[in-house]
Amino acid sequence: MPETQTIREINEELARKINEEARHDPQSAYRGKFVGIANGRVVVVADNLADVARSLREIEPDPQKTYGIEASRDYTEVEEIWVLR
């Protein structure tokens, strides 16, 4: 890893690799899971976002050094959210 990369960039790169693996490999351990990354390392894998968020706060109190993804989600797809009032 180049020393010029920030923790955020390292976390984003790892998240991208994990998501790519989960999307293309049906046997991936990350497929359909929520993954928490802190300081360039996977630190938690869970079935729900709340567990990942809680664990990330305990492991790394600085949120700028953490990253979370839903592995196997297509982040290029636009989803519209409609609210009826």
Average pLDDT, the chain: 94
Report pLDDT for 3. Answer: 64
Separation between Cα atoms, residue 85 and residue 69, nearest integer Å? 31
Q: Do residues 52 and 46 touch, judged by C-beta distance below 8 A?
A: yes
Asked if pLDDT for residue 2 goes beyond 70, the answer is no
**25-43 average pLDDT score:** 97
Q: State if pTM tops 0.75.
A: yes
Mean pLDDT throughout 13-26? 97
Q: Report the alpha-carbon distance of residue 57 to residue 49 in Å, rounded.
A: 12
Q: What is the pLDDT of residue 67?
A: 97
Report how far residue 69's alpha carbon sits from residue 49's, in angstroms, rounded to the nearest whole number.
9
